[in-house]
């Protein structure tokens, strides 16, 4: 265990805790020769949907089983498995948002989705199947979603598509209806707590905060840890309590939220800070619902619910918005 954390990419993840039910569902379909051509993997972010997709890809394309990794487990030393891990397997295509102008593009483009059709027009070169993983299908725009629908309407021979969705309700109904759906359920707080304690060494209070902020998604808890959410949560807590943080710390936070480049995603960090603050505000409002301060906290909490999306949609300065939040909270204390 350590407080130094390196997140494992889904393609490198062989252990799949909490995945027995989805493992069995996929394995049963495979054994009964009823393997659907499109699998919609649903659930909140951080539950291992992408890891499961790569797990299935290794199972379909590899040869050397290793049941120590579960029902779908494959050996790390299998040639095809090593190619998948190295991102160089000719029968695997992974679609994600691409980098553009020093930051991730907002959508997976229609041209990228059309590559899927071209990919499936060819026979597998070294495996029994060709596999495509789209992470996530939520990132498709209208044109790319329609292009995907055309592919789903004509199932590829020996081709399997895994569609990862954190918000399946927003997808086209026609896309959902053409997929076999697997739902990933949030873990209990106790399960996430145990998961974290096996991987990182932190004080009990820090673990408890990560558990609460993760909302039952262990992968999200690790991501929050990596991006410095505990520091942002500490700042949010002190702002709520009326303990005035040092000016230098506030200025550093504003600069961090304002930044937007390949090394510092200010939008994501600002959204994380707002989430931490809103969680703290819920505690601050409890028991004070009828007081003027409690009502003011509730009003500010409501305002902040859509703040990250609003800031991005109308291109507001995240640093300035942070100072606005700080001033609003200072007025309450």
Read off the pLDDT of residues 58-94 as tens digits, 9 standing for 90 and up: 999 999 988 888 889 999 999 999 999 999 999 999 9
Q: What is the pLDDT of residue 1?
A: 45
Q: Are residues 178 and 275 in the same domain?
A: no
Q: Are residues 154 and 25 in the same domain?
A: yes
| pLDDT(2) > 50 | no
Q: Are residues 29 and 121 in the same domain?
A: yes
Q: Are residues 89 and 164 in the same domain?
A: yes
Structural element, H or E, at residue 255: helix 247-258
For 16, the domain range is 10-183
Among candidate residues 198, 194, 263, the one with its CA nearest the CA of residue 227: 263
Q: Are residues 175 and 86 in the same domain?
A: yes
Q: Are residues 32 and 157 in the same domain?
A: yes
Return the axis-axis angle of helices 292-304 and 318-332, rounded to nearest 10°.
170
Distance between CA atoms of 14 and 234, rounded to whole angstroms?
A: 34
Q: Are residues 172 and 252 in the same domain?
A: no
Distance between CA atoms of 298 and 292, rounded to whole angstroms?
A: 10
CATH number for the domain harbouring residue 100: 3.40.50.300
Read off the pLDDT of residues 215-269 as tens digits, 9 standing for 90 and up: 999 999 999 999 899 999 999 999 988 888 999 999 999 999 998 654 558 999 9
For residues 40 and 179, the answer to whether their CB atoms sit within 8 Å is: yes
Residue with the bigger pLDDT between 331 and 204: it is: 204
SS3 content of the chain, % helix, strand, coil (to 5): 55, 10, 35
For residues 70 and 19, the answer to whether their CB atoms sit within 8 Å is: yes
Q: Are residues 15 and 160 in the same domain?
A: yes
């Amino acid at each position: 265990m350590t407080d130094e954390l390196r997140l494992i990419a889904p393609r490198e993840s062989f252990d799949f805790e909490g995945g027995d039910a989805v493992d069995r569902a996929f394995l049963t379909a495979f054994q009964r020769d009823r393997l659907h051509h499109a699998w919609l993997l649903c659930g909140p972010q951080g539950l291992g949907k992408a890891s499961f997709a790569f797990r299935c890809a290794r199972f379909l394309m590899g040869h050397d089983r290793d049941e120590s990794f579960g029902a779908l487990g494959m050996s790390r030393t299998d040639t095809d498995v090593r190619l998948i891990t190295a991102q160089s397997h000719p029968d695997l295509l992974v679609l994600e948002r691409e980098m553009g102008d020093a930051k991730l593009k907002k959508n997976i483009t229609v041209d990228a989705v059309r590559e899927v059709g071209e990919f499936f027009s060819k026979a597998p070169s070294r495996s029994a199947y060709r596999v495509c993983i789209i992470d996530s299908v939520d990132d498709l725009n209208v044109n790319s979603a329609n292009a995907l629908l055309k592919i789903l309407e004509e199932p590829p021979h020996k081709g399997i598509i895994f569609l990862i969705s954190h918000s399946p309700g927003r997808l086209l109904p026609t896309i959902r209806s053409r997929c076999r759906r697997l739902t990933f359920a949030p873990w209990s707080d106790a399960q996430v707590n145990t998961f974290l304690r096996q991987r990182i060494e932190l004080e009990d209070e820090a673990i408890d905060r990560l558990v609460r902020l993760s909302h039952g998604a262990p992968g999200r808890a690790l991501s929050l840890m990596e991006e410095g959410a505990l520091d942002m949560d500490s700042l949010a807590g002190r702002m709520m309590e009326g303990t005035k943080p040092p000016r230098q710390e506030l200025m550093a936070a504003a600069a961090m939220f304002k930044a937007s480049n390949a090394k510092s995603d200010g939008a994501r960090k600002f959204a994380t800070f707002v989430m931490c603050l809103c969680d703290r505000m819920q505690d601050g409002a409890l028991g004070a619902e009828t007081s003027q301060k409690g009502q003011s906290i509730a009003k500010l909490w409501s305002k902040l619910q859509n703040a990250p999306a609003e800031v991005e949609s109308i291109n507001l300065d995240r640093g300035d918005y942070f100072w606005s939040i700080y001033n609003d909270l200072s007025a309450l204390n």
